[in-house]
Amino acid sequence: MQLDARALNIRSMVEPDRVHRLCYTDPDIFQREMDLIHERTWIYVGHESQVKKPGDYWTTFIGRQPVIMVRGTDHKVHVLHNRCPHRGAMLCPDHHGNAGKVFRCTYHAWQFHLDGTLESLPIPKGYEGTRLTADNPDANIKPVARVESYRGFVFANLSTEGPGLLTHLGRTKAAFDDMCDRAPEGEVEVVATCFRMVQKSNWKLFLENQIDGVHPAVVHESTGKAATEVERKYEKRTGKKPPLSYHYITAFNVPIEKFGELQTTGHPRGHCTLEGYMGLRPKDPDTLEYEKAMHKHYGKQRTEEILGVNLHHVLIYPCLSVQPPLQQLRAVRPLAVDRTLTEIWHFRLKGAPEAIYRRALDYYYLVNAPSTMINADDLDNFWRCHEGLRHEGGDWVSFHRNAGQDPVVDGITRSVVGSSEAPMRNMFKAWAQYLSDEN
């Protein structure tokens, strides 16, 4: 069934406790999402440490638009459309590199300063009296409408309208505060490569799963039980407690009711948080050395405040899943109604011991990497959901659990239990607002 998105009453498809299956599967709705969400809100493009030197660049997408994040000779970070204004050739086909002092189009040798302004034309004569002269802004690489950075995390927006980045983030800027504050020097640095996965499902399924308080004990049960058995054998063989990295997998081997003790919070604009999942303060020598470095920079009281935060997951709608205590971030880049690219990035805490980086790297490899059993479980269920929703076994997707029971104060919803489907309801409430004609 295909719908004309222009005539579609989006609000009729989102009810307080359920949404229509076509919200996930209709290609016209997907195009509307690209128009009104991914190309009109703040989208994460990268971290400032990815472009350290003038000329350093990374390429990515904002919605359907290919863009370049580049460090200019003015040492500012610029975000430009990845397109030559002459005949439209892509300027940077690679994921990253260094452009030198100028961008040079490989088709006709137009050259541009790193801020996108025209540097030179190969044959300047012939443009006199035309509508495209060297001093015409149309001869420059088009910059995105707005670029803002918070604590080194760079966002861009293709629209000149709407709130600024900090207003958009609201309280979820805590994702970046928590990650950076855990660094003794107050900053993080990106690890200069990432995992990339293409999921055969709609982008919203990924975001919902990240903060679903029920699925871990179901979907990852077999993996958690197998890891627990390995942990027991290790302890029996060595007489010692297993390394912390074992806990990353065995944490999934808990009764389903245990996840109900978590706390989820829904924020305006579709953002959500998950709190109380995992403590990371064992009294091992590595942690004690790290805490000593924190005390040196922050003092004991402030260190306790920082390390006492248990903010496991922050969803910054519509484009990010951040795990601050584990120094990881997943960027969501929709490719089609049934294809979603996720980029999994990892960060170092500046001033922290190498062992703390290695600890988070273990989680990166054991839980978030494309080849892990945890990720494989999730990817399979994303595909199952999308395939099921394509067919007519029913029109509605249920978000009934604890519907109407979660208290709302000042526009913020705190779930009565961690298993509440409040986060899904919160995201779709924002989704309907973004896509409705009233937006």
Task: Compute CA 129 distance to the chain's CA centroid, rounded to the nearest angstrom.
Answer: 47
> Is the preceding peptide bond at 318 cis, omega within 30 degrees of 0?
yes
Q: Distances in Å between the alpha carbon of 228 and those of 112, 245, 247, 370, 377?
A: 57, 12, 9, 22, 17
Query: Residue 1: which pLDDT band, with cuts at 50, 70 and 90?
Result: very low
Average pLDDT over residues 85-106: 97
User: What is the Cα–Cα distance from 129 to 213, expressed in whole angstroms?
Assistant: 65
Q: Which of 424, 378, 369 is nearest to 398 (CA)?
A: 424
Query: What pTM was computed for the model?
Result: 0.94
* Predicted confidence (pLDDT) at residue 258 exceeds the cutoff of 50: yes
DSSP codes, 40-63:
TS-EEEEEGGGS-STTEEEEEEET
Assign 278 a pLDDT band (cuts: 50, 70, 90).
low
Amino acid at 8: L
Q: Are 187 and 180 in contact, with CB atoms under 8 Å apart?
A: yes
Instruction: Say whether pLDDT at 6 is over 50.
Output: no
- Residues 6 or more apart whose Cβ sits within 8 Å of residue 294: 182, 184, 303, 306, 307
- The predicted-structure confidence for 135-172, as pLDDT tens digits, reads as follows 999 999 999 999 999 999 999 999 999 999 999 999 99
Statement: residue 399 has pLDDT above 90: yes
Q: Residue 280 — pLDDT band, cuts 50, 70, 90?
A: low
Share of the chain above pLDDT 90, in %: 83
Per-residue model confidence (pLDDT) at position 18: 97
Least confident of 32-41, 183-192, 272-281: 272-281
pLDDT in tens, 418-436: 999 999 999 999 999 999 8
Percent of the chain with pLDDT over 70: 97
What pLDDT is stored for residue 142 in this prediction?
Answer: 98
Residue type, 81: H
The β-bridge partners of 331 are 320, 343
In order of start, what are the domains of the chain with their CATH numbers?
A: 43-152 (2.102.10.10), 170-435 (3.90.380.10)
